[in-house]
A = this chain, B = another copy of it.
Amino acid sequence: MSAVASRPAGLETRRAILDAALELFSERSFDGASTRAIAELAGVTQPLLNYHFAGKEELWRAAVDDLFERYRTSMELRLSGLRGVDDVTVAKLMVRHFVEFSAANPQLQRIIAQESKRAGGRLEWLVETHVRPVYENAVAMFERLAARGELARVAPEHLYYLLIGAGATVFMMAPECQRLTGVDPFAREFVAAHADLVVDLLIRATTKESA
């Protein structure tokens, strides 16, 4: 049953389903995305989802796994070969990469925001499996910055959600931004300007004046 995917055709279909699932889960929420709509977007029939995945919930988890895996690898790639570089520069790169990834993959914040509103099995899994490592990484970054006097000594809970919110909200809400302001937040210059702003805000702004 649960599909180990040994033949090439199976892998391609699996990928098409994962992409479609991520798209619809992220913009319509778990309940709003029907398995039939996902199947249609993937170009397959609905029962095929249950062949490749054990059920709707497991399909959701597989899609989220895939997305976070992309986030992790892209961040590692960005930070590879920076052994000797100072903490401030690395931190700025991390923040910038988070903003740019959020622009290139608004599904990430959309899914996190969706599930974070309500306690339950999916939130529990999401936090313990994927969010906590990201959070702890961020906290470590905050501490390195604070130790060098480049960041006000504020509780990490505040800084984390400040960073997440400031950096990703406009991309998560891109359709609203488009309609409200007429500006396409995914435009190259917008993303760059927003990343600059967030980096400045987090790292330069709370420096020196505070603490």
Question: A residues bordering B, Cβ < 8 Å?
Answer: 26-32, 106, 110, 112-119, 123-124, 126-127, 131-132, 135, 154-158, 160-162, 164-170, 172-181, 183, 185, 190, 193-194, 197-198, 200-201, 204-206, 209-210
Contact = CB atoms under 8 A, between A and B. Distances in A.
Contact of A113 (B32, B132, B172, B178): B172
Contact of A169 (B169, B180, B205): B169
Given A157-B170, A169-B164, A26 B117 contact: yes
Interface pairs A-B: 9 shortest CB-CB: A165-B169, A205-B205, A165-B165, A116-B176, A31-B32, A161-B170, A116-B173, A29-B29, A166-B166
Contacts of A161: 169-170, 173, 177, 185
A144 B61 CA distance: 47
Contacts of A156: 181
A79 B106 CA distance: 36
B179 A124 contact: yes
Number of copies: 2
Interface majority SS (helix, strand, loop, mixed), chain A: helix
B158 A118 contact: no
Given A29-B29, A157-B183, A166-B162, A176 B110 contact: no
A126 B144 CA distance: 42
A38 to B, nearest CB: 14
Contact of A165 (B112, B126, B168, B190): B168
Given A157-B185, A170-B161, A179-B124, A113 B113 contact: yes
B127 A179 contact: yes
Given A117-B173, A168-B165, A193 B127 contact: no
